[in-house]
Amino acid sequence: MVWRGKKEESMPKAPTGSAARPASSSYKEANPQLYAFLDWMAEQDPEYSQAFHKYTAIATGEGQALAVKYREMVMSALLVFMGRREGAEAHLKRAIEHGATKRELFEAGQAAGVPGGGITVGLWMQILTQLDREGAFKNG
């Protein structure tokens, strides 16, 4: 298979150990009910589900130029803008898992508010407040 001019076997290998945990696992842990559709989708069409998982692994995984914590911030910003609190919360939790600090996420929320407006900032900060109160920030 060729992707962006690279043969599949020459693409970066996934990390091993806890860093190798698929993004879908992290999201399911963050909000099992929200991501239950992944299991249902696999029951309905295993081939499509497998392709979807492969696509999301490339988009959300390690070994790319943009670190996972930043990828998760981008996905969070889009979800917050769309008003999808549960999805944004899951992605922000994964950003924290991958080293995002409270200050980095605070500033990312500020930046998302430039194109997204006050509602975007408000929802982002509501989620961060909740995560902070839950003790999610162990790294500052």
Q: What percent of the chain has pLDDT over 70?
A: 78
The Cα–Cα gap between 24 and 36 comes to 10
Q: Which domains does the chain have, with CATH numbers?
A: 24-133 (1.20.1290.10)
Whether the predicted pLDDT of 14 surpasses 90: no
User: Which pLDDT score, from 0 to 100, does residue 139 have?
Assistant: 74
Instruction: Please say whether the beta carbons of 69 and 89 come within 8 A.
Output: no
User: Which pLDDT score, from 0 to 100, does residue 7 have?
Assistant: 43
The Cα–Cα gap between 69 and 105 comes to 10
- Residue 131 tokens, joined: 């995560």
User: Which pLDDT score, from 0 to 100, does residue 11 have?
Assistant: 34
Instruction: Please say whether the beta carbons of 123 and 130 come within 8 A.
Output: no
Can you tell me whether residue 6 is helix, strand or coil? strand
